[in-house]
Amino acid sequence: MDVGFIGLGGMGAAMASRLIAAGHRVRVWNRSQAAVETLRGEGAEAVGDPAETFQADVVLTMLASDEVIEEVIIAPGLLAHARPGLVHLVTATISVDFAKRLETLHAAAGVAYIGAPVLGRPDVAAKGELNVLAAGKAADIARVKSVLDTIGKATWVVGEAPHLANVAKLAANFVLVSAIEAMSEAFAFGERQNVPPRTIAEILTGTLFAAPAYKTYSAAILERKFEAGFKLALGLKDVRLMLAAGEKAGAPLPFASVVRDNFVDAIAHGEGDKDWAAVSRVAFRRAALADE
């Protein structure tokens, strides 16, 4: 399949690499060129204008925020000049309101739109083991099945309105950041009373919480491995999206407010470019525990 790809950060580059390896023709565009050159070495076609990616059969965008999508895709009018029959997959975490706006804009331009945010980190993306949360017309999802099967191990269809995928993604991210925060507090609680955090982690991940998220992030917290898999500053953006969507829907998320404040605390202490598991340092610091 002829695939366009815009947005080659850690996640986007890994996903594009999978598509190249699977034999798809992949046209790539990114504002910084280092990732473009790497993928060109793998067989991608570098294009000079993002509009060229919209001449493919399907285009995936992995851009960091509503504002970047507005700047790169909407403002330049890429939808109006898209190839007839193109399917656009928005794979990033965006606000529910902006996803609804994209539904209107795509419908007006006659471009098929699928909300397709993903669950997983760059290392998971590199293995093609993401979980894709897809929402859009069933026929459109069926048309891009080969692409979805290449980037992910499973596709979870949420509904026909693309914004529903973003609701599901924010719900999943809410549970994930809550788990990170809960483990951080539990580890600090145990250490203050002479139960090693590693012991608590082993109990949790060996019994009630034997799940990938708990295993991955408990290890990151214990080993202080905060190399940016998913930057804490971007995590704060996602928490703000949760709170905004919850407020508009009349669904309070009080614990998300706690997590937001702790993310702000962590960023104020210079952790913004580290993995969002670095928010654990807030709990340890508040418990007067050394965290180095």
Helix axes 163-191, 254-268, angle to 10 degrees: 70
- 127 is a catalytic site residue: no
| Catalytic residue, candidates 145, 169, 231, 274 | 169
Q: Which residues are catalytic?
A: 169
